[in-house]
Copies of this chain bind each other. A is one copy, B any other.
Amino acid sequence: MARAWGVAAGLAALALAPLPAEAQDYDIEASRLLASPRFEAARQSLAADYDTIVADLITLTEIEAPPFKEARRAAAYAQMLKAAGLENVQTDAQGNVMGLRKGSGGGPLIAVAAHLDTVFPEGTDVTVKREGNRLAAPGIGDDTSSLPVLLAFIRAMDKAGYTTRADILFLGDVGEEGPGNLRGMRHLFNEGPYAGKIDAFISFEPGKAGRITHGGIGSRRYTVTFKGPGGHSYGAFGLVNPAYAMSDAITQFARMQVPASPKTTYSVGIVEGGTSVNSIPFATTMTVDMRSESAEELAKEEAAFLAILPGAAARENAARSTKQGEITYETTLIGDRPVGLTARSAPIVEYARASSEAMGFQVHYGSSSTDSNLPMSLGIPAVTLGSGFTTHRAHSLDEYLELDRENDLASMSAGLATLLLLAKAD
């Protein structure tokens, strides 16, 4: 594949580069595809598959996949990729699982991914509870719900007899959520067996078609550990307490003003520290998330955050005794996601727009922090699209998705159409 693509590099680049508007009408291409009997066969396959998709979703949701502990779910998904008929199903060194649907040759390599990891720690109850059309479980939406949709795409292409010029690599990848820091993507694009060979990338996340994420929200994430001498809560009363310095810092941080546009956000996600009720802690730690659509705003926000810390430590050192030691702090950068952008005029965005509109969806362009950040930051055309199901309360223990068969299938059809157009299906 790699060699074939090397030989045909000129052609593939042509297929992916934006052309003058008069030379390529994405809407006509999309309408033609959607009206074709072959695509109708693909849609019927998706529809026939709906219950299987839901069944696979439940199976996968109930295999917990905390950050860095995706292996059991990855193994299950690798079996599913194999059962869907992909070639070269493999697990790379970071734990991404992937398989190839070979094209007819001379086309680009397109990677299509859903991430395996959830935000929930080991031991979270991931039993799926069904009430009417609601399926509830932590992680059921983000991003577990996209995994079985990719399988349905493969089956639909096969059932409808599609061949594509492009090779398509389907992935369940690791490390998309916070602590993973895009480790799956970094490995895929920089070191793994397909590093340097991927020409376009689509990440599927829950949600309707029409939501096109073509901007990558950048993020900077820190842990800050405040340290002090510690001591007995009564006997050593009056010594500096790192919990007080940290709370001072958090209180300042909570007051930071950030622009609504370009959207810029911050959060304290974890606080921890101390050993017993009757000891002044030796150390407390806060975990901070800062994000922006704008590299400049992100840098300003980060600078403002870092500027809070010395004052918080100094105020505590001034408020209480430092005779056994001062409050100090250490910052550790634990997340660094590049801001990225795929131009709206890029074919990958235009195919997504045209397919969504042709299926009757309204298009919303947006930015987010997803697997696509990484290829975007490398200049590889990338988008994150809705795979169909709508999820609610993502990242909360009461996450749920609402099954809405016709709309879900319409979104899936738009996603599949985008892929087929980009892959030059015949």
Contacts and interface: CB of A to CB of B under 8 A. Distances in A.
Interface of A: 67, 119-121, 177-179, 217, 219, 221, 229-238, 241, 243-244, 246-248, 250-251, 254-255, 263, 265-282, 284, 286-289, 291, 316, 319, 334-335, 368-369, 393-397
Nearest to A124: B275
Given A235-B394, A276-B178, A254 B241 contact: yes
Q: How many copies does the complex hold?
A: 2
A397 B177 contact: no
A304 to B, nearest CB: 16
Contact of A268 (B244, B268, B395, B396): B244
Contacts of A272: 271-274
Contacts of A334: 277
B319 A254 contact: yes
Contacts of A67: 276
A135 B279 CA distance: 21
B244 A279 contact: no
Given A119-B279, A277-B334, A396-B282, A234 B217 contact: yes
B369 A234 contact: yes
A373 to B, nearest CB: 12
A369 B235 CA distance: 10
A140 to B, nearest CB: 15
Contacts of A238: 265
Contacts of A277: 178-179, 221, 269-270, 287-289, 334-335
A268 B271 CA distance: 13
Given A233-B289, A247-B246, A395-B231, A268 B278 contact: no
